[in-house]
Structure 1
Amino acid sequence: MSQLFSPLTLRDLTLRNRTVVSPMCQYSAKGGLANDWHLVHLGRFALGGFGLVIVEATGVTPEGRISYGDLGLWDDAQIAPLRHIVDFLHDEGTAAGIQLGHAGRKASTPIAWRSGFDETEQEKIDAGYEHWIPVAPSAIPHTDRHPSDFQTPTELDLEGIVRITKAFVDATGRADEAGFDVVEIHGAHGYLISQFLSPLANKRTDRYGGSRDNRMRFALEVAEAVRAVWPAEKPLFMRISATDGSPGGWSVEDSVVLAGELKQLGVDVIDCSSGGFDGYGLKPANLYQVPLAKAVREAGVATMAVGLISDPADAEAIVANGDADLVALARTALEDPNWPLHAHHALDGGGDAYKLWPKQARNRIRDRDKVLGLRGA
């Protein structure tokens, strides 16, 4: 069997394979509540054979959402719709994860497919439109190039930092109640935790700013607090921007140090992405972020590689070569929700590969392939 389709055990959770659906914002919630779109969107990946499906960045507070259309987990009423999705994923043999985050100064931004805040009054009512002033480590906007999209945030005081840390804790408890197997803390892409880490966004002069140790403090406090309430048998992930990819920003060397600290606090997997600030200099290309996962893995912690991974042979090599322990797909999964099914046939072939198909389709696909002489059926 290929390494990509071998099981992976993290604490008491065993994933059926190493393929993961990366969190992808859908901007389709109202009041932070999951709905039928989220069920069908995420459920298709379970039918497609992924080992772990991670729900999109989910706000731990209302003002922590990237947009008013994001999911939330700041209220008990948001648990049941997510539990419905978790139950479906479990029924199809897929583990369920959720990414908990706070957007910081990149909150209250327009829905991705709109031209700014161009909603009609009726659309605002229908979609649950909201707009608010974001908070951040420092009162510095994300960029001056799009002032209508990114506001100048309010600088968090110490009480605000404590409040947001508690919000992560409370949302984690709700994630457990909803039945999730994995919580991933969002510490990447220039959102709040990433803003604290990066000297590009963090200009504080108190114990949360200045030195690298101080800038890491918020990330480590959140991780420690979440780990304390997340059941010991369940794995905890954190997504980081392994590098800002911008001059004067957070570096891979910084991430190796952070990963070592996170491991000591009980974080099981570091999800290695990049960027999130103006001046991003990495050129997107096939497998361009895999070296980041490999570098961070040298800190002795399991990693997940993500970013323009599409070829099954490449995904297999990532795991087989020890560059990462998991392979996450985003746009590739959107383009082909059955990617693991197809990749399993390509890498392993033969009759056993059909076992990953849902039972409702398994024999029909095999019979079709036999008639057509496909895939060694």
Structure 2
Amino acid sequence: MPEGVKTSLKKNVKPTDFKGPQKARSAFMMFCDKHRSKVMADLKVDNPAPKISDSAKKLGEMWKTAKTSDEGKQLEEEAKKEKAQYDANLEAWKSSADYKEFIKADSAHKKKQAVTAATKKAKDSGMPKRPLGAYMSFAASKVGEVIADFKKKNNTEKAPSMAERTNLIKPMWEALGEAGRKAWEDKVQEEKVKYEEDLKKWNESEDGKAYAQAILDTDPKKALKAAGEPTRPQSAYFLFQASIAEEIATEFATKNNGKKPSLKDSAPLVKAKWDALSADEKKPFEEKNKAAAKKYEEDMKEFKKTDAYKKYSKMLNKRKSSTKAMKSSKKRKTDNGDEPQPEESPDGSNEHEDEESPEDSPEEESPEADGEEGEQEKEQDA
């Protein structure tokens, strides 16, 4: 994907973002481009701020007369030439690496839109809302108070920015002490237990099943997460990183006028501290990782027995079969000269024999080592 191009939920992916040809103009569009400035100038005589719709209406009326004139016929010829050039450029572009990147981005964009639509529909139907983390819950309870105090102290009606709110709320969180923070953590744990129970019930409802199927059709891996797929445990290194996150943030802010470190800023600092640890100092993190990995393996064995995982495996194998069928149906001949069947490789053997087993679980295809770190970051960025 070209640098700087991002997949947006709101806007369609444009071929021109990937060096694709500009779409050919129609004769009418050429006419509009030619006369628009004069039409707008004429409209401004009576209205200093004419609407685009006003100029479009006027140009449409003018074209009805002009399209049969010599000017209109000339523009029709120019439009044909531009279309022919566009078609040639389009065919050339379709053979490029940029076109392949466009297809990937367009597919990702459409998938995001489909998932967003399905999620919105699910939320509107009463899908339980995941509870906030301890810090975020505390921050939410204090944000009104913080905004009011900020406006009063600064004699302004402007609310503090997110960064300013964080700088005001974080010291309040730290001032709670270990016991005070634990009270919030216990409260959140209770909310999580209730959430899991409510989600399980909702998943069995008609709305829940419809949502699960919609997500399965558009984003199978997301469907597994929604169905309760166990989260891959953090590595020893990432456990260490989480344990010193506040220390790193404080050190960086002290040296950079209070600036909060980005992941890029903190990564070398964390690595330096990790590399400086002895084997004995690393051991607690490694032991914690081993224990989490063992539990994860046990949880995954149970998860693979669920309907959600079985549906995912079935869909995954179906897609692989479809892909291999397309490849084998190209202009290749088997030993007897016949076109190979979709299930058949060119040598007549069954290509499905070397397919991955359903036991090649999704967690191996979609590592989630950064899953918990991302949630921790969100909680600290209130």
| TM-score range relative to shorter protein | under 0.3
Q: Which has the higher helix share?
A: 2
- Judging by fraction of residues, say which structure has more strand: 1
TM-score for both structures, normalised by structure 1: 0.24
Return the index of the structure with the highest Cα Rg: 2
